[in-house]
Amino acid sequence: MSKEFKSMSNVDGRITPTAEACVPVLDRGFLYGDSIYEVFRTYSGVPLFYQQHWERLENSARLIQMHITQGRDEITEQIRRTVHSTSAGELSKEVYVRYVITRGEGPVDLYPNPELKTRYVIIVNAVPQWSPEFYRVGMKAAVPTVRRNPTDALDPNIKGGNYLNNVIAITQARELGADESIILNRDGYVTEASNSNVCFVLDGEVVTPGGASGNLRGITKKAAREACAAHGLAVKDRDVHATDLTKTTECFVTSATREVMPIISLRLDDGDVVEYPAGGGEITRKVAQFYREYMEEHVRQNAGFSLW
C-alpha cells in the first residue's frame, strides 16, 4: 500500500496522529498560556534557519524566566523522530514544524514553581498552502481597533502561547472584510501584522517598524533584510505612524510560512483604503526574489542537516 502523509505530533516523546495528541488539563500552557514556541518550515527536508529559531526560543524562555528542562539535542532528536513518523521523507513532502515548550504541570497556582519540568509538544504538518491569489495579487489588510500589547506589558519578543492580542486583531480585520491585520500601538505607530512582520515602501525606501514600536524580531524579516543588503537594497528601521500610511506605495509581510507576501490594500482606522500594486510593486518583487535566493543558499549550505 502506498504511504500517505499524515500529520503527527509528539507530546513528551509520545508520537501519535495529531488529532489524538493531548496535554493534561493541569498543564500551565493550557491553563495560563504559560508556554513558548517556534515554527519553521523545511526545504528539501532542511529546517530553515533552525539555529536562529533556537536562539529566539531561548530568548523567549529568558524573558519569562523559564528554564527549559530538555536540551536542544534532545528536542532536535524528537523533532526528527516526529518528522520521520509522517513519512515526509519518503514522500518528499515539505513540513511545517511547531514546537512548543510549556512550563509543565503543577498545582493550580499562578506562581510557576522553578522545580517544574517543562513539557514539549511537537506538531508536524504539511507546509500550509496559501491561496495563490495572495502572491499573484496580494492580501487585503486592515487596521483593527485593538492596539498591540505595550512592550513593557507583554513583550512581543516573548513568542508565547498567549496570542489573544493577535487573535482579536485578526478577528477584527476579518470582520472588516480583510485577510490580515496591521496593528498599531497605543501611540498610533505601526507594529506588525497578526503573525507576521510588515514592511512598506515609503519615500522610495524599504522601511519596517523598529523593535521599540512593539513587534517580534522576525527571522524571515532578518533574512530578507540580509538578502537585500547583499544586493545594495537597504531595509531601514523607521517608525511608521498611522498618518504616514497614505504615503506608503508598497506593502508586504514576512513570516516563516508566508515568506514575502504582498499586500494589495490597507484599510485605515478611518475607513480610507490605501491601494498597492497587484502582486507587489517592483521593490516588493525584488525583495521576494532576493529572499528566495538567500533561502536557497541557506538550504544548499545546510543540505547535510535534512529531517527527511
Ligand X SMILES: Cc1ncc(COP(=O)(O)O)c(C=O)c1O
Query: What is the binding site for ligand X (CB under 6 A)?
Result: 39, 166, 192, 195-197, 216, 218-221, 254-256
> How near is the Cβ of 49 to ligand X at its closest, in Å?
8
**H/E stretch holding 201:** strand 197-202
Alpha helices in 64-104 (DSSP H): 72-85, 88-91
Give the dihedral sign, CA 243/244/249/252: negative
> How near is the Cβ of 38 to ligand X at its closest, in Å?
8
The smaller minimum CB distance to ligand X, of residues 167 and 234, is found at: 167
> How near is the Cβ of 21 to ligand X at its closest, in Å?
21
Report helix, strand or coil for 213.
helix
The smaller minimum CB distance to ligand X, of residues 29 and 104, is found at: 29
Q: Which three cell numbers mark 226?
A: 540580509
> How near is the Cβ of 275 to ligand X at its closest, in Å?
24
DSSP letter at 59 equals: H
The smaller minimum CB distance to ligand X, of residues 27 and 192, is found at: 192
> How near is the Cβ of 216 to ligand X at its closest, in Å?
4
How many angstroms separate the CA atoms of 67 and 70, rounded? 9
Inter-axis angle of helices 50-63 and 219-230, nearest 10:
130
Q: Which three cell numbers mark 283?
A: 521593490
Q: Which three cell numbers mark 293?
A: 535566493
> How near is the Cβ of 155 to ligand X at its closest, in Å?
12
The smaller minimum CB distance to ligand X, of residues 219 and 261, is found at: 219
The smaller minimum CB distance to ligand X, of residues 53 and 105, is found at: 53
The smaller minimum CB distance to ligand X, of residues 140 and 221, is found at: 221
CA angle 304, 2, 84 (to 5 degrees): 30
